[in-house]
């Protein structure tokens, strides 16, 4: 009788563990897919890898990115994400010109090279006029990219 109860308990624990793994896998796969759809960009998240946006964004923060459809959606002061040969840069728009925009990291002394509007992936999602950041979650991405590149 006791061994039958132990077997049932073991089976129940195994099933519970498998359900937990299935839910976890669904979240890991599903959340990014849902963000791609809801934020209208193929790149809905980015990790802050340097201190160039301090104090607004800190190294290791994870930020959400809202896609933009055209340059009219941008304003001076927006934190924009753009693609460059080294990857992505997340800096603040300081000037919007006809064919280019000028960006600068908050902690930097000089402006970046001009960026064409076609390079813009989107802008940081804001909450109460501050970038919505998830502290330390970006460290996972930083660690994985360093491990992958070594």
pLDDT of 1 over the 60 cut:
no
pLDDT at 111: 98
pLDDT of 147 over the 80 cut:
no
Percent of the chain scoring above 70 in pLDDT? 97
Would you state the structure tokens that stand for residue 34, as one six-digit string?
Answer: 């849902």
- Strand-pairing partners, residue 102, are 95
Q: In the predicted model, what is the mean pLDDT of residues 122-135? A: 94
Q: In the predicted model, what is the mean pLDDT of residues 13-29? A: 88
The CATH superfamily label for domain 45-149 reads Umud Fragment, subunit A (2.10.109.10)
Please report where in the chains the tokens 């360093």 appear, as a residue: 146
- Closest alpha carbon to 103 in 87, 86, 83, 85: 83
pLDDT at 149: 64
106 confidence band (pLDDT: 50, 70, 90): very high
The Cα angle at residue 60 between residues 147 and 67, in degrees rounded to 5: 100
């Amino acid at each position: 009788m006791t061994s039958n109860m132990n077997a049932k308990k073991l089976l129940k624990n195994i099933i519970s563990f498998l359900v937990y793994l299935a839910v976890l896998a669904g979240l890991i796969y599903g959340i990014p897919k849902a963000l791609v759809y809801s934020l209208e960009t193929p790149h809905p998240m980015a990790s802050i890898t340097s201190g160039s946006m301090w104090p607004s964004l800190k190294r290791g923060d994870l930020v959400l990115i809202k896609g933009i459809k055209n340059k009219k959606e941008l304003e001076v002061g927006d934190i924009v994400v753009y693609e460059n040969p080294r990857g992505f840069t997340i800096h603040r728009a300081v000037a919007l010109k006809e064919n280019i925009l000028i960006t600068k990291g908050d902690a930097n002394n000089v402006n970046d090279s001009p960026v064409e509007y076609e390079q813009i992936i989107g802008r940081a999602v804001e909450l109460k006029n501050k970038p919505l950041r998830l502290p330390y979650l970006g460290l996972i991405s930083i660690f994985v990219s360093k491990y992958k590149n070594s």
